[in-house]
């Protein structure tokens, strides 16, 4: 068991290279082959490191997938929150959210797929579930606020969020199939449609 594992935010660079390479390789392979379907030696090879090296950065395979989940879900949350302006046109606000989701899915398609696929895996630990919880709460609060201001359709906010996020996941899945690119036009079109899911009428 490594005594002091190199942290991701190390200052010196170089130390972190391998950790990042491992995480990147894991992201790809876990999406492609699944967690249990990915052998550590293969992962090591894809990352360009020795198999043993992985265990210098992560306690074991399970820890690795949990770190991966936590980091990316956090990153997604941060991304969605960034540039969020509380007041303003409700539709513009929604479209902003939809665009940020799209940005993220377009920029990190594998990471978005990873998050989506692993959202309820048996090997996710308490920490990962907590990140998950906070993410959902954030979303729910967003909806509740908009409902409180009379902008959004009434109803259980979790349900509304499930529909909106689900719709986006459907779009992202389809674009992952390679038969659709997330162009600005597609994003506008789908965002406009999704807006109707939530808007009060």
Partner DNA sequence: CATGAATGAGTTTTCATTCAT
Partner DNA sequence: TATGAATGAAAACTCATTCAT
- Residue 63 or 106: the one with the smaller Cβ distance to DNA is 63
Pairwise CA distance, residues 195 & 191, whole Å: 6
Contact segment (CB under 7 A) with DNA among 33-41, 82-90, 95-103, 146-154 equals 33-41
Binding site for a copy of itself (CB under 8 A): 3, 32-37, 45, 117, 119-123, 153, 155-156, 158-171, 173-174, 176-177, 179-180, 186, 189-190, 193-194, 196-199, 201
Q: How far is the CB of 120 from DNA (least distance, A)?
A: 20
- Which residue in 7, 20, 32, 36 binds DNA (CB under 7 A)? 36
Query: Does 41 interact with DNA (rule: CB under 7 A)?
Result: yes
Which runs of consecutive H residues, i.e. helices, occur in 36-183? Answer: 40-47, 51-57, 61-81, 90-107, 109-117, 126-148, 157-174
Task: Kindly compute the dihedral angle of the four CA atoms of residues 102, 104, 105, 106, in this order, to the nearest 10 degrees.
Answer: 80
Query: Does 62 interact with DNA (rule: CB under 7 A)?
Result: yes
What count of Cα atoms within 13 Å lies in the side-chain half-sphere of residue 60? 6
CA 42 to the chain's CA centroid: 24
Q: DSSP secondary-structure letter at 187?
A: H
Q: How far is the CB of 132 from DNA (least distance, A)?
A: 23
Pairwise CA distance, residues 59 & 136, whole Å: 28
Q: How far is the CB of 36 from DNA (least distance, A)?
A: 6
| Residues binding DNA (CB under 7 A) | 1, 4, 6, 15, 17-18, 36, 38-41, 44, 49-57, 60-62
């Amino acid at each position: 068991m490594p005594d002091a594992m190199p942290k991701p935010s190390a200052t010196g660079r170089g130390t972190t290279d391998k950790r990042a390479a491992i995480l990147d390789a894991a992201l790809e392979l876990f999406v492609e082959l699944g967690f249990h379907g990915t052998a550590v030696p293969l992962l090591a090879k894809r990352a360009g490191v020795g198999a043993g090296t992985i265990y210098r950065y992560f306690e074991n395979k399970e820890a690795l997938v949990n770190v991966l989940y936590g980091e990316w879900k956090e990153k997604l949350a941060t991304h969605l929150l960034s540039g969020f302006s509380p007041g303003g046109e409700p539709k513009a606000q929604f479209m902003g959210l939809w665009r940020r989701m799209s940005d993220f899915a377009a920029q990190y398609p594998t990471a978005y797929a990873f998050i989506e696929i692993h959202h309820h895996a048996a090997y996710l630990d308490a920490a990962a579930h907590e990140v998950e919880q906070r993410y959902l709460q954030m979303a729910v609060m967003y909806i509740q606020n908009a409902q409180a201001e009379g902008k959004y359709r009434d109803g259980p906010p979790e349900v509304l969020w499930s529909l909106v996020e689900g719709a986006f996941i459907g779009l992202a899945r389809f674009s992952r199939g390679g038969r659709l690119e997330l162009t600005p036009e597609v994003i506008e079109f789908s965002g406009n449609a999704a807006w109707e899911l939530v808007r009060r009428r």
